[in-house]
Amino acid sequence: MALQKFYQLYKKSEGKMDFDAIIIGSGIAGSTVAFYLAKNGWSVGILNKNEELYESNTYYAQGGIAYVAEDDSKDLFYDDIMNAGGGVCNPEAVKIVTEEAYDCVMELLVNEFNVEFSKNESGDFD
């Protein structure tokens, strides 16, 4: 389906398509970059190895969204990720996730896309 749409656009453009940026990959990283570039007026093309753009590792990731809430322990979260990764996690990447995931979730999912996550009685996210 997506390939057919692309082919129709390609034919219509006579073999030439111009973008300000081409993003390779349609997972959370590529989609987030594409979103912010487009939001700032860039024309963006996304290339994906699969026929449908939703086909990415992000789509199949299990475990939901994980981050350290303001009152949680970053050290314990780091240890949890490293243990769950069975020794193959990049420690520097895990440190970045530990430090920045909360702000990223709030900025993108809550502030930009207005995702309504469950909240506890005091109004904080569960």
pLDDT at position 40? 96
**23: β partners:** 46
**pLDDT tens digits, 97-120:** 999 988 988 899 889 988 888 888
Report the C-alpha gap between 47 and 81 in whole angstroms.
Answer: 30
**pLDDT tens digits, 48-58:** 888 787 888 88
pTM of the full predicted structure? Answer: 0.68
Q: What average pLDDT score do residues 88-102 get?
A: 93
Q: What average pLDDT score do residues 13-24 get?
A: 84
| Distance (Å) of CA 100 to CA 37, 67, 70, 107 | 20, 8, 11, 11
pLDDT at position 122? 85
pLDDT at position 5? 67
**pLDDT tens digits, 60-86:** 876 677 888 777 899 999 999 999 999
Q: What average pLDDT score do residues 3-26 get?
A: 78
Indicate if the pLDDT at residue 2 is higher than 60. no
